Amino acid sequence: MKNINITVKKNEEKVVPYIWINGSESEINFDAELIGEGANLTIIGIFIGKNSDSVIFNTNVIHKAPKTKSMTHIRGVFYDKSIFNNDGMVHIAKGAKGADGYFASKILLFDDAKGRSVPSLEIDENDLKAGHASTVGRPDENQLFYLRSRGLSEKQAEKLIVSGFFEPTLSMLSENKQIEIRQNLLKNL
Partner 1 sequence: MQQFNTSHYEFGFHDKLKPVYSTQKGLTEKTVREISSMKQEPEWMLGIRLKALALFFSKKLPTWGGDLTRLNFDEIYYYVKPTDKQGRTWDEVPKEIKDTFDKIGIPQAERKFLAGVAAQYDSEVVYHSISKMLEAKGVIFVDTDTALKKYPDLLRQYFGKIIPPADNKLAALNTAVWSGGSCIYVPKNVCVDLPLQAYFRINAKNMGQFERTLIIADEGSYVHYVEGCTAPIFTTDSLHSAVVEILVKKGARVRYTTIQNWSKNVYNLVTKRMFVEEEGFGEWIDGNLGSQLTMKYPSVYLMGRKARGEVLSLAFAGEDQHQDAGGKAIHFAPETSSVISSKSVSKDGGRTSYRGLLKVLKGAENSKSTVRCDALILDPKSRSDTYPTMEINEEKVTIGHEAAVSKIGEDQLFYFRSRGISQAAAEVMIVNGFIEPIVRELPMEYAVELNRLIQLEMTGAVG
Find the shortest distance in angstroms from Cβ 134 to partner 1: 4
**Total site size for partner 1, rule CB under 8 A:** 32
Contact set for partner 1, span 83-102 (CB under 8 A): 94
Q: Which of 13, 27, 111, 180 is the binder for partner 1 (CB under 8 A)?
A: 111
Q: Which of 30, 117, 158, 181 is the binder for partner 1 (CB under 8 A)?
A: 117
User: 122-141 mask for partner 1 (x: CB under 8 A)?
Assistant: xxxxxxxxxxxxxxxxx---
In angstroms, the CA 71 to CA 63 distance is 11
Distances (CA, A) of 31 to 62, 132, 153: 8, 18, 43
Find the shortest distance in angstroms from Cβ 106 to partner 1: 10
In angstroms, the CA 129 to CA 30 distance is 22
Using the contact rule CB under 8 A, the part of the chain among 6-14, 33-41, 111-119, 164-172 near partner 1 is 111-119
In angstroms, the CA 76 to CA 121 distance is 21
Find the shortest distance in angstroms from Cβ 178 to partner 1: 27
Nearer to partner 1, 27 or 180 (CB): 27
> Is position 164 an interface residue for partner 1 (rule: CB under 8 A)?
no
> Is position 165 an interface residue for partner 1 (rule: CB under 8 A)?
no
> Is position 37 an interface residue for partner 1 (rule: CB under 8 A)?
no
Task: Report the sign of the C-alpha dihedral through residues 57, 187, 22, 5, in that order.
Answer: negative
Find the shortest distance in angstroms from Cβ 34 to partner 1: 17
Distances (CA, A) of 109 to 10, 66, 113, 116, 169: 39, 38, 6, 11, 18
In angstroms, the CA 86 to CA 88 distance is 6
- Cβ–Cβ under 8 Å, residues 82 and 53: yes
- The residues binding partner 1 (CB under 8 A) are 94, 107, 109-138
